[in-house]
Structure 1
Amino acid sequence: MDLVNHTWTQNFLLAGFTTTGALQPLAFLGTLCIYLLTLAGNLFIIVLVQADSRLSTPMYFFISVLSFLELWYVSTTVPTLLHTLLHRHSCISSTGCFVQLYVFHSLGMTECYLLGVMALDRYLAICCPLHYHALMSRQVQLWLAGVTWVAGFSAALVPASLTATLPFCLKEVAHYFCDLAPLMRLACVDTRWHNEVHGAVIGVATGCNLVLILGLYGGILRAVLKLPSAASRARAFSTCSSHITVVVLFYASAFTVYVGSPGSLLEGIDKHIALVYAFLTPFLNPIIYTLRNKEVKDAMKRVRVRIRTILQEV
């Protein structure tokens, strides 16, 4: 049999998580509730930034872009997760599998770059306050946001295209979505070279971006420590705390899976870690940016008063 043709005609079976008895409907309902709350929370951030003029700043523009990205990011994998929880497995075509692989990694790399841009925004706001609005004009904001999407979707072409050309002899994927490591294990050929290329591309893309973030926050730390009062230092740090929390959550889990050889983890472990950066992080981001942010809380109050006023007039 022609192995290449076999690759393109077969379906894959997503094994997902093993749930039995009463745990199965509970796991499904819990996942569905978190998914719906994730969609609602990120949509809320986008609408709030658009509705309140005081949030028309570069920082909140990038936060809304991140929320928009998270809507697509979580929706790339959760539907198959829900299907596997309900039916204990999910069948997906080879084309659908590779499209999911590409879109998931494209959005993941886009988020890496976007987190770097958000760190740059905080650096300019704190270290170059007099020139901040000139440096971070609306045109620059749109350009930076566009570059992150182009860079993310371009970088993901390499691992996705290499994986799609492999011949596969097995079809059961030990994951709840099509990811690099579980697909590598199904190949009929030696994939060590592919793993090295995947690790290099993803490692360089995410690693260089993390170095940039750390360097920018090093500059922020030096600038903040020079501020005259403790109150001003605390205020400066508060504008960065939410972003730092998101960076730690995302990178700590993603690096565990993808830096180095994508197939280095034990089979089945990567899907549990993936729940953190592919499912829980998009759910937690709106919470982090609302509960830890006084400006967002104040904007929520202003919008609530405005809505109440409109309803009373009607």
Structure 2
Amino acid sequence: MKTKNHSEVSAFVFQGFSNFQEHQITLFVVFLALYILTLAGNVIIVTIIRIDHHLHTPMYFFLSILSTSETFYSLVIIPRMLSSLVGLSQSISFIGCATQMFFFLGFAITNCLLLAVMGYDRYVAICNPLRYSVIMNWRVCTLMVSSVGITGFSLSLVQAVAIFRLPFCDPLIEHFFCDVRPILDLACASTFINDILTLIISLLAISAPATFLLITYILIISTILHIASAEGQRKAFATCASHLTVVIIHYGCASIAYFKPKSENTKDQDQLISVTYTVITPLLNPVVYSLRNKEVKDALSRALRRKSLS
């Protein structure tokens, strides 16, 4: 196998959406609109939670952290993708690509783990309500958020360092950002160890929290079904509905992206899947929690009334 020093590739060139040359302006407008909605939605959620004392609870503390993380997650990818679509910047330096992958994976893994933490919060609230304030005190909540952030970026660092130590022979990335598989496809050397590492990190970041959430929701549903009143059951289900919706979509997209066989889809199909979890998924958080969560809607209504009165 031909080998070269990876320093010979000092920059990469994105080839994402190259098969859609005639539609790139349309894609730019659509993705820009979705990005603005994502930013606006997440900023509104974080602001409402911060200013409304009714939402100063662990559940909404975790939601504000998730919204903040989703904002930075989309910021790492979408602005550069938009510039590529209009031909402003289709290249990225070697260090820039490594940095983008590090932050993308860091926020992605953190989001997966945060959803698991939010599931545990719902479990304690429904299955052990009398001790909720003791178990989920602010010190514990802060420790949980810190732990998932450190874990997420530690795993991301390991993955990025392992990948960018490889020698690369081709600078053309058939993708719109520095994702794991498109970069590994450019390597001259064997990627067997990296493939194993990617699988292990995917199991830790996706399968493990998803399994934890499955067990958690089995216990939650079992507890809810033992509630005597129908109204009590309805309220309990309502507190979990928004989170469960986001969980199903989030882990579903991540599983399709990182557990499917390498050759199962074409490059265009891979990019479509990537668009789903980089552009669409970050928008789901504010949309779902705004439309399905009565407390958030009530808080937003109160804030608008205060604004109109002032």
* TM-score where L is the length of structure 2: 0.94
- Confirm whether residue 147 of structure 1 aligns to residue 147 of structure 2: yes
Contact between 1:195 and 1:263, CA under 8 Å: does it hold in 2?
no
Kindly provide the CA deviation profile for residues 201-241 of structure 1, in whole angstroms up to 9, marking residues without a partner as x. 22233211111111111110110000002221111011111
1:268 positional shift:
3.9
Residue type matched to 1:154 in 2? S
Aligned to 2:218: 218
Residue type matched to 1:185 in 2? D
- Confirm whether residue 196 of structure 1 aligns to residue 196 of structure 2: yes
Aligned to 1:97: 97
Gaps of at least 5 residues in structure 2 are none
Equivalents in 2 of 1:81, 1:125: separation in Å?
Answer: 41
Contact between 2:110 and 2:149, CA under 8 Å: does it hold in 1?
yes
Contact between 2:124 and 2:132, CA under 8 Å: does it hold in 1?
yes
1:80 positional shift:
1.8
Secondary structure of 1:168's partner? Answer: coil
1:264 positional shift:
6.3
186 and 264 in structure 1: CA distance in 2 versus 1, 3 angstrom threshold: farther
Contact between 2:289 and 2:296, CA under 8 Å: does it hold in 1?
yes
Residue type matched to 2:258 in 1? Y
Q: How many residues align?
A: 308
Residue type matched to 2:228 in 1? P
Kindly provide the CA deviation profile for residues 113-144 of structure 1, in whole angstroms up to 9, marking residues without a partner as x. 10000000000000011110111111111111
1:30 positional shift:
1.6
Kindly provide the CA deviation profile for residues 174-223 of structure 1, in whole angstroms up to 9, marking residues without a partner as x. 11100111111111112123212211222233211111111111110110
Aligned to 1:275: 275
97 and 16 in structure 1: CA distance in 2 versus 1, 3 angstrom threshold: same
Residue type matched to 1:20 in 2? Q
Secondary structure of 1:12's partner? Answer: strand
Aligned to 2:258: 258
Equivalents in 2 of 1:287, 1:31: separation in Å?
Answer: 16
Equivalents in 1 of 2:78, 2:194: separation in Å?
Answer: 27
Residue type matched to 1:77 in 2? I
1:306 positional shift:
1.4
Contact between 1:163 and 1:184, CA under 8 Å: does it hold in 2?
yes
Aligned pairs for 1:37-186 within 5 A:
37-87=37-87, 90-186=90-186
Aligned pairs for 1:221-236 within 5 A:
221-236=221-236
20 and 268 in structure 1: CA distance in 2 versus 1, 3 angstrom threshold: closer
Gaps of at least 5 residues in structure 1 are none
Secondary structure of 2:210's partner? Answer: helix
Secondary structure of 1:156's partner? Answer: helix
* Greater CA drift, 146-155 or 202-211: 202-211
Residue type matched to 2:4 in 1? L
Residue type matched to 1:3 in 2? K
* Greater CA drift, 262-271 or 117-126: 262-271
Contact between 1:199 and 1:260, CA under 8 Å: does it hold in 2?
no
Equivalents in 1 of 2:158, 2:68: separation in Å?
Answer: 25
Secondary structure of 2:92's partner? Answer: strand
264 and 187 in structure 1: CA distance in 2 versus 1, 3 angstrom threshold: farther
Contact between 1:59 and 1:121, CA under 8 Å: does it hold in 2?
yes
- Confirm whether residue 4 of structure 1 aligns to residue 5 of structure 2: yes
Residue type matched to 1:65 in 2? I
Aligned to 1:237: 237
Q: How many percent of aligned residue pairs carry the same amino acid?
A: 36
Query: What root-mean-square deviation, in Å, do the aligned CA atoms of Structure 1 and Structure 2 show?
Result: 1.8
1:88 positional shift:
8.5
Equivalents in 1 of 2:89, 2:142: separation in Å?
Answer: 41
Equivalents in 2 of 1:263, 1:13: separation in Å?
Answer: 22
Equivalents in 1 of 2:219, 2:104: separation in Å?
Answer: 32
- Which consecutive aligned stretches of 4+ in structure 1 deviate over 6 angstroms post-superposition? 260-264
63 and 297 in structure 1: CA distance in 2 versus 1, 3 angstrom threshold: same
113 and 209 in structure 1: CA distance in 2 versus 1, 3 angstrom threshold: same
* TM-score where L is the length of structure 1: 0.93
Contact between 2:3 and 2:188, CA under 8 Å: does it hold in 1?
no
Contact between 2:174 and 2:182, CA under 8 Å: does it hold in 1?
yes
Aligned to 1:20: 21
